[in-house]
């Protein structure tokens, strides 16, 4: 979702604003820069992504991503079960999706 369309949130000025305003559920909360596709980044030197990641009671990962592409900010949210054999696959899938985000023109994403 384009960050300016996130309901009930103030104006975001950077990806860190997006992830820092996400309430950490417990002490496991962490903010990291996930790896994005080198091919996607090569075409946009301005592309940046951060994720705020927390393990919710009941063994569910809750993640909020802040993404900057060609000067536009996006917020993405994902949740998935804490299945040790699948976590890296889930995170790789999310990284592939975020790597593919582009800004093609006014109002098109």
Q: How many other CB atoms sit within 10 Å of the CB of residue 13?
A: 10
Say what the pLDDT of residue 105 is: 59
Give the span between the Cα atoms of 12 and 76, in whole angstroms.
Answer: 13
Q: Which of 64, 67, 5 is nearest to 29 (CA)?
A: 64
Count of domains observed in the chain: 1
Q: Which of 99, 102, 36 is nearest to 69 (CA)?
A: 102
> What's the whole-model pTM score?
0.76
- Overall average pLDDT of the 74-95 stretch: 87
- Overall average pLDDT of the 70-82 stretch: 88
Is residue 17 in some structural domain? yes
Say what the pLDDT of residue 44 is: 61
Q: Which of 78, 101, 73 is nearest to 11 (CA)?
A: 73
**Model pLDDT for residues 22-68, shown as the tens digit of each residue:** 655 445 556 666 666 544 444 566 788 888 888 877 788 888 888 88
Residue 10's domain comprises: 3-99
- The residue among 101 and 26 whose pLDDT is bigger is 101
Is residue 107 in some structural domain? no
Is residue 15 in some structural domain? yes
**Model pLDDT for residues 6-18, shown as the tens digit of each residue:** 777 667 888 888 8
Is residue 18 in some structural domain? yes
Give the span between the Cα atoms of 99 and 7, in whole angstroms.
Answer: 24
Is residue 29 in some structural domain? yes
């Amino acid at each position: 979702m384009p960050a300016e369309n996130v309901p009930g949130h103030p104006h975001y000025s950077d990806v860190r604003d997006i992830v820092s305003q996400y309430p950490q559920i417990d002490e496991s909360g962490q903010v990291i820069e996930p790896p994005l596709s080198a091919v996607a980044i090569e075409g946009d030197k301005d592309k940046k992504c951060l994720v705020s990641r927390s393990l919710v009671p009941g063994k569910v990962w809750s993640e909020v991503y802040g993404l900057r592409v060609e000067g536009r900010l996006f917020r993405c949210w994902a949740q998935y079960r804490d299945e040790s054999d699948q976590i890296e696959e889930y995170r790789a899938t999310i990284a592939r999706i975020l790597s593919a985000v582009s800004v093609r023109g006014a109002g098109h994403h």
